[in-house]
Chains A and B, each alone.
Chain A
């Protein structure tokens, strides 16, 4: 009786463990699963995180958002004399989509001229990262950050030009 019981137990055991469908290989917990893998990629392998020299005349800094809203992006661009963006860096306080949006923004502005960079739209960023509707504001903030950085650069350039002209006089 005991032997038969144990035999059945063992068979049931092996059926349960080995042959029945097991739980799938490590399922990520929900929020990560709802993210597109591109968004996760930007977090795990961040591109262009960092800072450029704020005081330099060739660097434009854009700081947008507010901590109270849970989203702050700082985007910096370095422009050469010909007006082409040669380097860009970002830092973000925000959710995964915000980090990815700003990271993608720095990738896209690199190599563009100042005028071309102004054409980057939030809809392009959102499409590239497959952002769900609830996260579209992250891409809008990224576009704002690009524009703020460009505006800051332009302001610096104009003040430099103004000083140069004053010195000439």
Chain B
């Protein structure tokens, strides 16, 4: 109660950022989540420990001031304001497949463990260790409940990459003669396609083959249950679900037991499967991110679908010759990969310099090869060079989407005017009939 009035007074005291472009979509987070986070943050994730009654309210101000400066309500408005020219703000973030910002509720859960409860969770002889261990186990429970697993089946790692390595390492030389392991990505990070995990799981369990899935882009976004889908091993990444970077988890089934070999040896932590002190603040963050994801999954999915629909409809309506890569039926809406024919992806990224996007084009990678994913789904090579990935996440606003769409349409038109391929197509020439000079 006291904290709420204090927060309100502080929020009122903060001057709303003036400036010529205050109506441009700003990088802000919703008030609703922040307030809830603040009220929840008075009790750290260990349940029966005394609340942190410190003389350092500054620690809460991190979440206080991630406030949306635009005067918008929680409900996205029907009429979007026209986009402003580039202002003195950071770029809009439309690259959530690469990484996601920390949810303020996650940060608030982590802060006590960064500042005050800093014990090693493997220390058995004092309260510092006990409270960190309690937090670690609570986080383990939060991760497990998101995927329908038992907490004893979750091992914390440094990220999905380490989890993948652990999963694949020893199983390749397991008993089965020909196939020992099937490893599939749940949701592809480039085109957003959802793989038929339940069907694959059924087939694998009937053939007694281990089934591993890299669920980094899927956990917390689509409903997953390791028992329904017969998953034996699953990789989870913290920073893809609005949690901290540098932490992940691997789910390893207990019944029937799946044996894996440890990648790193040492003090035998995490049941000997992953030695090394478990980083309490990071795993608390991962646990909080999973819990928040579980609460927000349905709402996020609905909201992101609506925004994705808005983005694709607006672009497809205004521009001809735009192709969406990936099966539209089995598709996670937050990852939209579009190919703009006759325009090269990287030049479009340069043009959209105030939006953070990613491209399947070769120029953005060190080699000259376009994305292997696009090649694998049979995209024409020139379309593969023309693809852009739009990422819509929990904190993406409707105004950001509108601004991105507006800019994208404008620059694609401009680049097409500069494109010899567009010119040839307008003149009626069939591009496939031309003998190009190979460089």
Contact = CB atoms under 8 A, between A and B. Distances in A.
A13 to B, nearest CB: 5
A54 B353 CA distance: 35
B91 A27 contact: yes
A164 interface: no
A93 B382 CA distance: 10
B347 A13 contact: no
Which has the most chain B C-beta neighbours within 10 Å: A12, A23, A74, A95?
A95
Given A9-B7, A29-B356, A49-B417, A67 B382 contact: yes
A2 B6 contact: yes
Interface residues of A, number: 55
Contacts of A137: 368, 439
B391 interface: no
B10 A10 contact: yes
Interface string A63-98: 111111111111000000000000000011111111
Contacts of A2: 2, 5-6
Contacts of B64: 9, 13
A95 B9 contact: no
A105 interface: no
A27 B347 CA distance: 18
B320 interface: no
B57 A9 contact: yes
A96 B414 CA distance: 13
Interface stretch (B114-122, B144-152, B358-366): B358-366
A9 B344 CA distance: 50
Contacts of B3: 5
Which has the most chain B C-beta neighbours within 10 Å: A16, A46, A72?
A72
B74 to A, nearest CB: 23
A73 B89 CA distance: 35
A8 interface: yes
Contacts of A6: 5-6, 9-10
B258 interface: no
A122 B420 CA distance: 21
A67 B436 contact: yes
Contact of A69 (B7, B343, B439): B439
Given A26-B354, A43-B347, A94-B344, A68 B419 contact: no
Which has the most chain A C-beta neighbours within 10 Å: B88, B362, B420?
B420
Given A9-B7, A49-B418, A68 B382 contact: yes
B342 A65 contact: no
A67 B14 CA distance: 53
A134 B13 CA distance: 51
A60 to B, nearest CB: 15
B344 A70 contact: yes
Contact of A66 (B344, B357, B418, B436): B436
Which has the most chain B C-beta neighbours within 10 Å: A26, A51, A97?
A26
B350 interface: yes
Contacts of A23: 90
Interface string A129-157: 00000110100110010001000000000
A5 B349 CA distance: 47
A29 B436 CA distance: 33
A74 B436 CA distance: 12
A31 interface: yes
B61 interface: yes
B375 to A, nearest CB: 11
A20 to B, nearest CB: 11
A26 B439 contact: no
B354 A1 contact: no
A91 B347 CA distance: 13
A67 B418 contact: no
A52 interface: no
Nearest to A144: B439
Contacts of A27: 90-91
Given A40-B353, A63-B437, A64-B439, 11 more contacts: A6-B10, A9-B7, A13-B14, A23-B90, A31-B353, A67-B436, A70-B370, A93-B421, A94-B344, A96-B346, A144-B439
Interface of B: 2-3, 5-7, 9-10, 13-15, 57-58, 61, 64-65, 86-91, 342-344, 346-347, 349-351, 353-357, 361-364, 366, 368, 370, 381-382, 385, 417-423, 431, 436-439
14 contacts: A9-B61, A10-B10, A17-B15, A28-B91, A28-B353, A43-B350, A66-B437, A70-B362, A72-B421, A74-B423, A91-B418, A94-B347, A97-B363, A98-B347
User: Top 10 closest A-B pairs, CB basis?
Assistant: A67-B382, A66-B436, A70-B385, A32-B353, A68-B381, A74-B420, A95-B346, A25-B88, A91-B420, A95-B363
